[in-house]
């Protein structure tokens, strides 16, 4: 009987021949926390009476969620992170470096076959490059920093086979929103997702990150893909580390298998206030929009900026609408500047803000006003998520956001795709 | 250990942004302060309605979304003695055990707002005193019971210097 990717990585890292539902203690390749979770992790680390992290090179803290600091209270927490990072000599990505889930792979910290935890629920992002990565809380993060280990229940796996070719104007964001709408917000809870098939193979690594990033929105522990030539090329460009990719066996056992054909998929929109409240864009087209957001760990990468800029080039953001663009990292922003994308955004009337989480989590950079509608490339549209519980958040692809801010209402981007 | 209190009822998919909003949690690690904002976006008066020992009762997928450990901690500091739901999101589940907030997984359809409950954790049963019904509780996995019995993951690490489930 064969094994899934999750079973193989957890077997490799625990030294036990494990199967779904076994409990293992496994070695971690990398641990990460951000500015909203580091404080409690540091507190727990100190309470555990630990002196040193297990390996400073394999620990990172990223100041991205509320960065640069908008308030004195936030500044105090950021200072605590800087002091700890200096004392422990761990990787620190301070303000302006970007979103943790862009930085961890971009800076070469993780490679195929790795086991990674992050004190941020979207740590599942690195599954796109064949990493078993999962979100944990601050105390688990502290345990990982102290011991280099964590206990895991080996998850059962759900296999998503995605056939067909995404039509022009339809992107990996539309695909993952469609899947979440289909399986619902807790359809994959306690389980790993594996994404395979022609439509996945055809995606760039940037586009694959978007899919794995949102695995948590169906409750999954991780969102895994096999490594192919695109993965190898991307990883070698970003990391010096040696790696051994992990494939699922043909006779691996799955909790269930779902098969889709995406050749006729429309752009998808998640409506307020849950991510699984998904509709084809034709159902919501015309809803007025006061604010658009392009960025976040879901869709702030260079390919996303290129797609949005291609639509916004030579056009203006509607006079009743605002657009905020937050590139996912400093490198992404520099690349976007070289390609003239930032100029296109600025000329369209957008506010381009510091690389990082942007306004996604309601701390700064664009809290909507009462009753306003926002269309965002982020991964969550919970009531109050962006800092105002009376506003409404719609989620879509960078193309859907770009098209919508031009008209000031939700707009099918295929109108702009030649 | 027996827990007694009255019910505050919520629906399915209560996410950690609702439990404690990002607009509060980035400002401070003062859990007493964060506790004042627990469930604020679903019920602005929630904190003032709680009598120490009360329960949060919900449907499925409680605690979905962000990994913020401020969520179980703020619930603890709001004097809620346990969260009772049909199912829990994975990260929240671990965070509760690690921080010492008891989780009760059971059928919650027959529990209404204001009901008085008594939970007998060792017998694995929830008594709905208002309705005169008994509801069986899904037992915690052995590893989690061990961490909870040690007083949370920090205490477990202090005791053993690392993970020890033998």
The answer on A89 and A236 residing in a single domain is yes
How far is residue A22's CA from residue A3's CA, in Å, rounded to a whole number? 13
Measured CA angle at B54 (ends B49, B57), to 5 deg:
95
Based on the domain organization, do A89 and A39 belong to the same domain? yes
Phi, psi of B135 (to 5 degrees): -120, 125
Residues A363 and A392 in one domain: yes
Q: Which of B121, B75, B126, B79 is nearest to B96 (CA)?
A: B75
Domain that holds residue A130: 5-260
- CB-based burial label for A367 (10 Å; 0-12, 13-18, 19+): middle
Distance (Å, rounded) from C-alpha A355 to C-alpha A100? 10
pLDDT bin (cut points 50, 70, 90) of residue B25 is: confident
**What is the predicted pLDDT for the residue at B26?**
84
Given A243, A260, A277, which residue is the final one in a domain?
A260
CB < 8 Å to A40, chain B: 29, 69-70, 73
Give the span between the Cα atoms of A33 and A39, in whole angstroms.
9
Digit-by-digit pLDDT tens for chain A (418 residues) are: 899 999 999 999 999 999 999 999 999 999 999 999 999 999 999 999 999 999 999 999 999 999 999 999 999 999 999 999 999 999 999 999 999 999 999 999 999 999 999 999 999 999 999 999 999 999 999 999 999 999 999 999 999 999 999 999 999 999 999 999 999 999 999 999 999 999 999 999 999 999 999 999 999 999 999 999 999 999 999 999 999 999 999 999 999 999 999 999 999 999 999 999 999 999 999 999 999 999 999 999 999 999 999 999 999 999 999 999 999 999 999 999 999 999 999 999 999 999 999 999 999 999 999 999 999 999 999 999 999 999 999 999 999 999 999 999 999 999 998 7
Answer yes or no: do A183 and A286 share one domain.
no
Q: Contact at 8 Å (CB) between A99 and A357?
A: yes
Q: Which residues of B touch A49 (CB under 8 A)?
A: 158
Sign of the torsion formed by the C-alpha atoms of A38, A65, A221 and B17:
positive
Whether B5 and B116 have beta carbons less than 8 Å apart is answered as yes
The reply to whether A295 and A329 lie within a common domain is: yes
CA nearest B64: which of B10, B14, B98?
B14
User: Are A97 and A175 in the same domain?
Assistant: yes
DSSP-assigned letters across all residues of chain B:
-EEEEEEEE--S--BHHHHS-HHHHTT---HHHHHTTTTTTT-TTHHHHPPTT-EEEE-SSBTBS---THHHHHHHHTT--EEEES-B-HHHHHHHHHHT--EEES--TT--TT-EEEEETTTTEEEETTTTEEEE-BPPPHHHHHHHHTTSHHHHHHHHSS----
Q: Do B154 and A47 touch (CB under 8 A)?
A: yes
Q: Which residue from B26, B90, B152 is facing A189, i.e. has the nearest CB?
A: B90
Testing the interface with B: which of A6, A382, A386, A390 to mutate, by most B Cβ within 10 A? Answer: A382
- What CA–CA distance (Å, rounded) separates A378 from A366? 13
Domain match, A254 and A275 both: no
A191 → chain B, closest CA residue: B90
* Number of domains chain A is built from: 2
Query: How many beta-carbon contacts under 8 Å exist across A and B?
Result: 151
A48–B158: do the CB atoms touch at under 8 Å? yes
Q: Are residues A224 and A296 both part of a single domain? A: no
Cross-strand bridge partners of residue B56: B8, B83
Question: What CATH code is assigned to B2-160?
Answer: 3.20.19.10
Chain A residues within an 8 Å CB radius of B13: 185-186, 274
B35-43 average pLDDT score = 95
Per-residue model confidence (pLDDT) at position A163: 98
- How high is the pLDDT of residue B140? 87
Task: Looking at the structure, tell me whether residues A79 and A113 fall in a common domain.
Answer: yes
C-beta atoms of B90 and A147 within 8 A: no
B chain contacts of residue A71, beta-carbon cutoff 8 Å:
27
ipTM confidence:
0.94
B27 pLDDT tier (thresholds 50, 70, 90): confident
Identify the bridge partners of residue B164 per DSSP, sorted by sequence position: none
Q: Residue B80: which pLDDT band, with cuts at 50, 70 and 90?
A: very high
Sequence-separated (6 or more) residues with CB below 8 Å from residue A67? A35, A78, A94, A95, A96, A354, A356, A357
Question: In this structure, are A294 and A226 located in the same domain?
Answer: no
CA angle B62, A387, A178 (to 5 degrees): 55
Angstrom distance (rounded) from CA A192 to CA A223:
6
Please tell me whether residues A195 and A285 are part of one structural domain: no
- What is the CATH number for A235? 3.30.499.10
């Amino acid at each position: 009987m064969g094994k899934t990717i999750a079973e193989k990585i957890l077997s490799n890292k625990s030294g036990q021949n494990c199967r779904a539902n076994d409990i293992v203690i496994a070695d971690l390749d990398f641990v990460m926390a951000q500015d909203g979770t580091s404080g409690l992790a540091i507190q727990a680390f100190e309470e555990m009476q630990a002196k040193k992290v297990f390996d400073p090179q394999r620990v990172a803290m990223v100041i991205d969620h509320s960065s640069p600091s908008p308030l004195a209270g936030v500044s105090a927490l950021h200072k605590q992170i800087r002091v700890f990072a200096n004392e422990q000599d761990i990787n620190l990505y301070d303000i302006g470096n970007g979103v943790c889930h862009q930085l961890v792979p971009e800076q070469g910290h993780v490679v195929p076959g790795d086991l990674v935890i992050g004190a941020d629920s979207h740590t599942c992002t690195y599954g796109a490059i064949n990493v078993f990565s999962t979100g944990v809380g601050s105390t688990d993060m502290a345990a990982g920093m102290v011991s280099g280990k964590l206990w895991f229940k080996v998850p059962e796996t759900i296999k998503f086979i995605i056939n067909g070719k995404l039509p022009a104007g339809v992107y990996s964001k539309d695909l993952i929103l469609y899947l979440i709408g289909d399986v619902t917000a807790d359809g994959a809870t306690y389980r790993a997702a594996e994404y395979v098939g022609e439509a996945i193979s055809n995606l760039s690594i940037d586009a694959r990150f978007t899919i794995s990033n949102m695995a948590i929105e169906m409750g999954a522990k991780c969102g895994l893909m096999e490594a192919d030539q695109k993965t190898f090329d991307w990883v070698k460009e970003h990391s010096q580390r040696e790696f051994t990719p992990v494939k699922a066996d043909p006779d691996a056992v799955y909790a269930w298998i779902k098969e889709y054909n995406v050749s006729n998929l429309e752009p998808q929109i998640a409506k307020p206030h849950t991510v699984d409240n998904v509709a084809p864009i034709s159902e919501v087209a015309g809803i007025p929009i006061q604010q658009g957001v392009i960025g976040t760990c879901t869709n702030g990468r260079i390919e996303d900026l290129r797609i949005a800029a291609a639509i916004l080039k030579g056009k203006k953001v509607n006079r009743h609408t605002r657009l905020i663009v937050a590139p996912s990292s400093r490198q992404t922003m520099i690349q976007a500047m070289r390609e003239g994308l930032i100029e296109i955004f600025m000329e369209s009337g957008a506010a381009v803000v510091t690389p990082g989480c942007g306004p996604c989590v309601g701390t700064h950079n664009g809290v909507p006003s009462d009753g306003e509608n926002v269309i965002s490339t982020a991964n969550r549209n919970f009531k109050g998520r962006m800092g105002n519980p009376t506003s409404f958040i719609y989620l879509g692809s960078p193309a859907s956001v770009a098209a919508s801010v031009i008209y000031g209402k939700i707009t099918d981007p295929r109108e702009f795709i030649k | 250990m027996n827990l007694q209190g009255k019910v505050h009822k919520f629906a399915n998919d209560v996410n950690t942004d609702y439990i404690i909003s990002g607009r509060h949690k980035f400002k401070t690690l003062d859990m007493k302060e964060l506790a004042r904002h627990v469930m604020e976006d679903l019920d602005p008066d929630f904190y003032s309605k709680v009598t120490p020992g009360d329960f949060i009762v919900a449907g499925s997928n409680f605690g979905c979304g962000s990994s913020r450990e401020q969520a179980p901690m703020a619930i603890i500091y709001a004097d809620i003695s346990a969260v009772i739901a049909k199912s829990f999101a994975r990260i929240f589940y671990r965070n509760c055990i690690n921080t010492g907030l008891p989780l009760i997984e059971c059928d919650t359809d027959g529990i209404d707002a204001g009901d008085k409950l008594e939970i007998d954790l060792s017998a694995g049963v929830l008594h709905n005193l208002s309705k005169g019904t008994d509801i069986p509780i899904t037992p915690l996995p052995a590893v989690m019971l061990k961490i909870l019995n040690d007083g949370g993951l920090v205490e477990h690490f202090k005791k053993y210097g690392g993970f020890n489930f033998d």
